Structure 1
Amino acid sequence: MRAFLALVLIALSGLSQAAIQTREIPYQSADGTRLIGYYAYDDSIKGPRPGVVVVHEWWGLNDYAKRRARDLAGLGYSALAIDMYGDGQNTEHPKDAMAFMQAALKDSSTASGRFQAGLDLLKQQPQTDPQKLAAIGYCFGGAVVLNAARQGVPLAGVVSFHGALVTQTPASPGTVKAKILVEHGALDSMVTADNVAAFKTEMDKAGADYRFVSLEGAKHGFSNPDADRLGHGEHGGPDIGYNKAADEKSWADMQAFLKTIFS
């Protein structure tokens, strides 16, 4: 009996050691900004695996973005939630979020440089297969990953969740190498019907491989469980709201998309 219990304890000990590992990694962009990434991977998986960059909402690198990195690690990916604002800054105040976002977008090279610095950091991790890379983004982050695709960054695919669709530099024919999945809330008041139509026209003209999913009843921010609170906060938040069905549907779509592009 003692021998049996000892074997059980050994087995349980082995199981407890296999877990999602996380750590913060300081890095720097080409413009000299100090950035802090949040890296996650499953240590029960041996060897390199596909890598996925996570780009945060306009709130900054908060717990939600970090949670999504852990979720991806649980699916078997090497995941890095990158920092687009510097020093891991985040906020729940819309005015601060707007200021952070505007600073990151002050010129195209700032945003693209910070995205590239995060992608390079992910590629450097021993758990990452540098030949299999993708990026997902939320709200502001959705715009960031779509712009990376427009610029021809060598990614297998990008996924935008309730992301901004407008751009000052439309994709040119043949430029977009990444496959694109857009998960859009049908009730998103921050992205107009004209924005949607212009995006589809742009992608068609560029010859991009894309899929656009309109999620019924979903507003901007539909994937974030904190959206209801942030949208009705003491600071007078934007028109956003959580939608459980849209969250689950878009996440399932993303999983199928990643499996396809990495197969």
Structure 2
Amino acid sequence: MKKLFLLTLLMISAGYTFAQKMACCKPSATQQFAMLASDKKFRASHKDPVKFHFQSAIGKTITYHTTDGKTANAYLLKAKTATNNYLLVIHEWYGLNDFVKREAEKMYNDIGNVNVIALDLYDGKVADNSQDAGKYMQAVTDARAKAIIKGAIGYAGSKAKVATIGWCFGGGWSLQATLLANKQAVGCVMYYGMPEQDVAKLKMLNCAVLGNFANKDQWINTKVVTKFAADMKAAGKTLYLHQYDADHGFANPSNPVYDTNASKEAYGYTLTFLKTRLK
């Protein structure tokens, strides 16, 4: 009987230890999204982007210090009149390419009186095919990405009002960047990115979130989005949710699944949301 009791205790202890390891090793929301790059169907759904070249007369590349003791590059569009309004733009899984730079400048012009910083979470790497994009996305560590984001917030300054926007890979990181901005955060826009699934973390949000999602998306699907809406409600936070009869990547003109109508409508909501918060 004594041996049986000791054996039971050992089994319970082993089970508890395993549960602890599972808990501590659970991938973050951004890591979960990065893992999708191992899915052949996910990679196949991202057709190689249409070749696109953009040359700006006002945007420039900057270098700034990151919180891990390194440096990072970014694309800056500086407001014509001095302001503490900042919009952090986070690229999709191809990297900080010319399409993202053009979108950054479009928002810069449409919002008005705002500094726009398009971040580079790939540290200079830009993909023109899904194979490389998947490799670059999976090579990003949470620690490095957060250091880059924190560095950008530091570059903006302690008085900056920070809004964020991102697509796909950048959609999930837009939400994470908003969490990192803490009380400086004034608004978050995420396009078909992986939501944060920890309600305790969502409770730390200091602003509303606008989500543009695609009902035909097989990965950030309606089930994921429905849970996100429920989690935001449980956290007591505001989510402006917009869902479209479109596919993942619908807002990218260089993507063959680009949906003109859905993209136009989503951008309208996005622009109104950001203008209201970056006055």
TM over 0.5: yes
- Change in Cα spacing, 1:172 to 1:118, as seen in structure 2 (3 Å) is closer
The answer to whether the 8 A contact 2:67-2:150 is kept is: no
The answer to whether the 8 A contact 1:60-1:91 is kept is: yes
Gaps of 5+ in 2: 1-55
CA deviation string 1:69-93 (max 9, x = no partner): 111221212111111011x211022
- Change in Cα spacing, 1:130 to 1:250, as seen in structure 2 (3 Å) is farther
Aligned to 1:224: 252
Residue 116 of structure 1 is aligned with which of 141, 150, 172? 150
Q: How far apart are 1:25 and its partner, in Å? A: 0.4
The answer to whether the 8 A contact 2:175-2:188 is kept is: yes
Q: Give the number of the structure whose residues are more often helix, by fraction.
A: 2
Q: Give the number of the structure whose residues are more often strand, by fraction.
A: 1
Aligned to 2:9: none
Q: 1-side partners of 2:161 and 2:196: how far apart?
A: 27
Is 1:207 equivalent to 2:236 in the alignment?
yes
CA deviation string 1:94-148 (max 9, x = no partner): 22212211221x3x33322222222323x15xxxx94322010111111001123
Percent identity over the alignment?
27
Aligned to 1:254: 270
Q: 2-side partners of 1:132 and 1:30: how far apart?
A: 20
Alignment of 1:21-170 (within 5 A): 21-41=58-78, 43=80, 46-48=81-83, 50-75=85-110, 76=112, 77-86=114-123, 88-104=124-140, 106=141, 108-121=142-155, 123=156, 130-150=159-179, 153=182, 154-165=184-195, 167=197, 169-170=198-199
Q: How far apart are 1:170 and its partner, in Å? A: 4.1
Q: 1-side partners of 2:79 and 2:98: how far apart?
A: 19
Is 1:242 equivalent to 2:258 in the alignment?
yes
- Change in Cα spacing, 1:30 to 1:186, as seen in structure 2 (3 Å) is same
Gaps of 5+ in 1: 1-18, 229-240
Amino acid at match of 1:137: G
Amino acid at match of 1:102: Q
Q: 2-side partners of 1:132 and 1:20: how far apart?
A: 26
The answer to whether the 8 A contact 2:171-2:191 is kept is: yes
The answer to whether the 8 A contact 1:226-1:242 is kept is: yes
Q: 1-side partners of 2:200 and 2:211: how far apart?
A: 16
The answer to whether the 8 A contact 1:52-1:135 is kept is: yes
Which has the greater radius of gyration? 2
Q: 1-side partners of 2:181 and 2:275: how far apart?
A: 21
Amino acid at match of 2:145: A
Q: 1-side partners of 2:159 and 2:269: how far apart?
A: 23
The answer to whether the 8 A contact 1:150-1:171 is kept is: no
Amino acid at match of 1:117: G
Q: What is the total number of aligned residue pairs between the two structures?
A: 221
In the superposition, the TM-score normalised over structure 1's length comes to 0.76
The answer to whether the 8 A contact 2:251-2:259 is kept is: yes
Q: 2-side partners of 1:79 and 1:249: how far apart?
A: 22
The answer to whether the 8 A contact 2:64-2:71 is kept is: yes
CA deviation string 1:22-42 (max 9, x = no partner): 110022423345421111145
Q: How far apart are 1:197 and its partner, in Å? A: 1.9
Q: How far apart are 1:225 and its partner, in Å? A: 0.6
CA deviation string 1:36-61 (max 9, x = no partner): 11111453xx3325210100001111
